[in-house]
Each structure stands twice: as C-alpha cells, then as structure tokens.
C-alpha cells in the first residue's frame, strides 16, 4: 500500500531542522578553502587531529562550555552526551589523555564541524564548519605572536582582502572588575555591554551597580581602548592593579613581536575584546573583514583549559568560521570546482579499451567521465555542453573519434588512443 503522505516531493524528506545541505559547487569551494588553510598551517609544522562528534556533557562543562550551548543526546549506558559545541575543549581533553606524553610544544590543527543550539550559533543553523589551530605547551608572547602570524597568513591564503585582526587581553578587564568587588551577574552585564561597544547600555549597567564614580568612569573608559599602538599607553595609564598592568604589557610584547615579524599592518589593539568561552586567560583574537556581519575568526590564550582535564599545559589557538568566509570569496575562480576535461563514449565490446584510455588520462591529471548512461551521440553531446565538458570522444575497435561539441578540444588529443 502506498503511503499518500510521501506522494508530494515538496512535502517529503527535507534536511533536519537547523541543518542545511551543501550542493556540489558550494561544497567544492569549501573543500578548496580548507585545502588552502591546510597548506599554510602544515607549512608551520601543525599536525591534523579530529575528535569525536559527541562529547560527554561533564567534559564540556569542565572545559568551560555552558550547558545552554549543548544539543544533548542520551548514550546507551544512560550517560548524557552532547554534539560538540566547540573544538578547543575536546582537543584539550585529547591532549591531556591520548597525547599526555607528547613533547611540548604541540602544534595541532583541525577542520571540522561544531553543533550549537540555534540561539547560540549566530545564524539559526545548528552546524558551523570551523578550521583552526592550537599551539599547546608554551606560555610565551612568541607563541601568541606565532598564532596571530599564522592566522594572518591563513586569512590571506583563503582569498580574503582588507581583513583586520583585533587583539585584546582578557586579564586587563578582569583586573579592573576584580578591584571593583562586583558580583558575578554584574560582571557579566558589564562584559556584555563592553563587548557590544554600547556606551549607553554600559552607562546604565554601571549606574545600577552603584559603583564609586572613579571606578565607573574607569570602566566606562574601556570603550576608548581600541586603535593603534597608543592604546597600550592609555591602558597602562588606566590600570590601577598589577593584573591589568601585566595584561597591557603582555599585549604590548605580542604586538612588538608581530612588528618584528613584519606582519603588524593588519593588527588593531582592542581591549574591548572581552567575550568568549570561559576558558580564555590572556590574549584575545578576532578577525573582521568588510562584508561580514560578524567576526570570521576567534581565539585566544587558554592556559588553564588543558589542566582541567589533568595536564597543566598552557595553550593558544584560533578558529575560522568557514561558513562566513565562503560567500566572501565566492568570486575567486581558483576555488571553483574544476570542469571535466573529457567525456568518453564506448559500446559494450570496447568498454575495457575505453576504461584503460580514461585511466591513462586521469594519471596525467585530466578529469575524465565515462559515459555510463547509454545515451545516443546527440544526447551525450547535449550533456557535455550542459556541464561544460571540454571534449567528447568515442572509443571503438578502430581507435578514437572526437565528436564536435563546440568546446575547445586541442589539448585533449594526446593519450586518447586505446
């Protein structure tokens, strides 16, 4: 008996709620962007890792990820798990367990998906494709500068122009609010307004906190700490505690190192960078590019995270949001999937000869399709024109015959003979 509910394709099976398919053209571009990223970070000495798509909820909480990010699932043993909402925390778990005896520093990279509740994903989709690095086991500003320099190279390699990297230091903000003696919810509210760069909102929150006038003015001045190198000097004047002063000097050392590397032109000092997961302890990094509505890269230093899984190693890292990058490089012809060079027609008696001819061409780097649909010659030519296939040949007992399909054919003659 036919199920009438499945008779209308438009109402039949669709992608799951909050998910999306990638069609061949977009999927090919995404793969090529990831390939450019891999080329850069492998040249820096980074090795690829991959973690489980499902992580234990208690492991994610230990990694500083709030439960409201989780898309939860129940394991066969009754243990609660979640689709990984983040990749840094699972890699920290991996380092602290499977890579515990590996020598420092560890240079790791990944290209994988994270899954977050729609209200946390920034776009309504539960899945986001990310590519990033983790430099683990070295606490120096040189390591921070390496991570930033690699990000600059990777952003350029994937085809982005006009990008800026905003560098902050979470310790500066945390030192100021510690001195103020604020409650946790008050700190969270102030952090949100600074992250939004909302002066009116920040003024209202500070007023509600009943802070002394000098402390309120100090926190209000946080919103001015964005710009060039001179911001560091303003931050040092504003600092009233050792932690904030040390954070400003640390950021200054990182920027001086980037200048020595010759890659500081794309850098903006931005001490309003105070957002992010709860594991950041130092440098904060965000990258922006014209045409994107939000940061396309985020990261920073997280010296306590690996230790939460039992292995006290400092670390720094960042991740691209590949789904945000994809439309920004849509016009890059080098990212487009390659066209097929050749369509090979044949009859049953010559199928082996046709296969061997196609194999020789593929070994020479050509992209070759076998005509498996039993089409007529006219239908094969129409198919080739529709797909932009460069040439069509027919392999028979007497050799190879080229068919006229209005496509350039000169470069495919060599190697066609069976």
Range from 18-22, 85-89, 227-231, 358-362 carrying the lowest mean pLDDT = 18-22
Reading the block at residue 149, the tokens are 């320099």
Domain 338-412 falls under CATH 3.40.50.800: yes
Average pLDDT, the chain: 88
Its pTM stands at 0.85
* Alpha carbon distance 16, 300 (integer Å): 33
Higher pLDDT, 313 or 278: 313
Q: Write down the domain spans for the chain.
A: 17-161+289-337, 164-282, 338-412
Check if the beta carbon of residue 345 is closer than 8 Å to that of residue 374: no
Residues 146-166, mean pLDDT to the nearest whole number: 96
Of 48, 71, 46, the closest CA to residue 60 belongs to 71
Residues 336-350, mean pLDDT to the nearest whole number: 92
Higher pLDDT, 117 or 190: 190
Residues 287-304, mean pLDDT to the nearest whole number: 92
Higher pLDDT, 63 or 123: 63
Tens digit of each residue's pLDDT (9 = 90 or more) over 224-263: 999 999 999 999 999 989 999 999 999 999 999 999 999 9
DSSP conformational letter for 68: G
For residue 389, the model assigns a pLDDT of 94
Q: Which of the four pLDDT bands, split at 50, 70 and 90, describes residue 21?
A: confident
Of 16, 22, 31, the closest CA to residue 126 belongs to 16
CATH topology of domain 164-282: BirA Bifunctional Protein; domain 2 (3.30.930)
* Alpha carbon distance 408, 341 (integer Å): 10
Residue 16, pLDDT > 80, answer no
* Alpha carbon distance 324, 155 (integer Å): 12
For residue 99, the model assigns a pLDDT of 96
Is 164-282's fold the same as 338-412's? Answer: no
Check if the beta carbon of residue 139 is closer than 8 Å to that of residue 314: yes
pLDDT-above-90 percentage for the chain? 64
Residues 6+ apart with CB under 8 A from 309: 59, 62, 63, 92, 93, 95, 96, 97
Residue 5, pLDDT > 50, answer no
Q: Which of the four pLDDT bands, split at 50, 70 and 90, describes residue 412?
A: very low
Range from 12-16, 135-139, 188-192, 207-211 carrying the lowest mean pLDDT = 12-16
Q: Which helix (H) or strand (E) holds 263?
A: none
For residue 383, the model assigns a pLDDT of 94
Residues 158-180, mean pLDDT to the nearest whole number: 92
For residue 1, the model assigns a pLDDT of 40
Q: Which of the four pLDDT bands, split at 50, 70 and 90, describes residue 410?
A: very low
Residues 6+ apart with CB under 8 A from 118: 18, 124, 125, 126
Residue 131, pLDDT > 90, answer yes
Range from 37-46, 128-137, 191-200, 259-268 carrying the lowest mean pLDDT = 191-200
* Alpha carbon distance 227, 334 (integer Å): 35
For residue 256, the model assigns a pLDDT of 97
Q: Which helix (H) or strand (E) holds 285?
A: strand 283-288
CATH number of 17-161+289-337: 3.30.930.10
* Alpha carbon distance 259, 254 (integer Å): 9
Range from 54-68, 80-94, 317-331, 376-390 carrying the lowest mean pLDDT = 54-68
């Amino acid at each position: 008996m036919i199920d009438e509910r499945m008779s209308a394709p438009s109402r039949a099976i669709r992608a799951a709620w909050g998910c999306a398919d990638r069609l061949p053209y977009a999927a090919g571009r995404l793969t090529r962007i990831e390939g450019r990223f891999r080329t850069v970070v492998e040249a820096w000495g980074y090795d690829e890792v991959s973690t489980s798509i499902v992580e234990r909820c208690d492991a994610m909480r230990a990694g500083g990820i709030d439960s409201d990010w989780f898309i939860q699932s129940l394991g066969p043993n009754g243990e609660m798990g979640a689709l990984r909402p983040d990749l840094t925390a699972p890699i920290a778990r991996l380092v602290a367990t499977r890579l515990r005896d590996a020598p420092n520093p560890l240079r790791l990279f990944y290209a994988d998906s994270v899954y977050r509740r729609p209200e946390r994903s920034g776009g309504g989709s539960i899945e986001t494709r990310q590519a990033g690095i983790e430099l683990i086991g070295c606490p120096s500003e040189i390591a921070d500068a390496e991570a930033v320099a690699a990000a600059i190279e990777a952003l350029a390699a994937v085809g982005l122009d006009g990008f800026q990297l905003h560098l902050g230091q979470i310790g500066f903000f945390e030192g100021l609010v510690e001195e103020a003696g604020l409650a946790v919810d008050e700190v969270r509210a102030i952090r949100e307004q600074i992250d939004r760069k909302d002066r009116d909102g920040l003024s209202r929150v500070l007023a509600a906190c009943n802070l002394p006038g000098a402390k309120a003015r100090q926190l209000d001045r946080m919103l001015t700490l964005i710009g060039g190198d001179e911001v560091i000097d303003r931050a040092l004047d504003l600092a009233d505690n050792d932690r904030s002063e040390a954070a400003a000097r640390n950021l200054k050392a990182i920027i001086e190192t980037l200048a020595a590397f010759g890659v500081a032109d794309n850098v903006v000092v931005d001490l309003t960078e105070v957002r992010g997961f709860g594991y950041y302890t130092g440098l904060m990094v965000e990258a922006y590019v014209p045409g994107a509505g939000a940061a396309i890269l985020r990261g920073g230093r997280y010296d306590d995270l690996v230790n939460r899984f039992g292995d006290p190693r400092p670390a720094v890292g960042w991740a691209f949001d590949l789904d945000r990058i994809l439309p920004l490089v849509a016009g890059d012809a080098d990212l487009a999937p390659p066209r097929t060079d050749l369509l090979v027609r044949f009859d049953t008696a010559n199928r082996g000869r046709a296969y061997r001819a196609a194999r020789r061409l593929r070994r020479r780097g050509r992209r070759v399709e076998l005509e498996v649909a039993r089409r007529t010659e006219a239908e094969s030519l129409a198919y080739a024109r529709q797909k932009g296939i460069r040439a069509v040949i027919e392999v028979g007992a007497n050799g190879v015959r080229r068919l006229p399909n209005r496509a350039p054919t000169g470069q495919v003659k060599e190697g066609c003979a069976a």
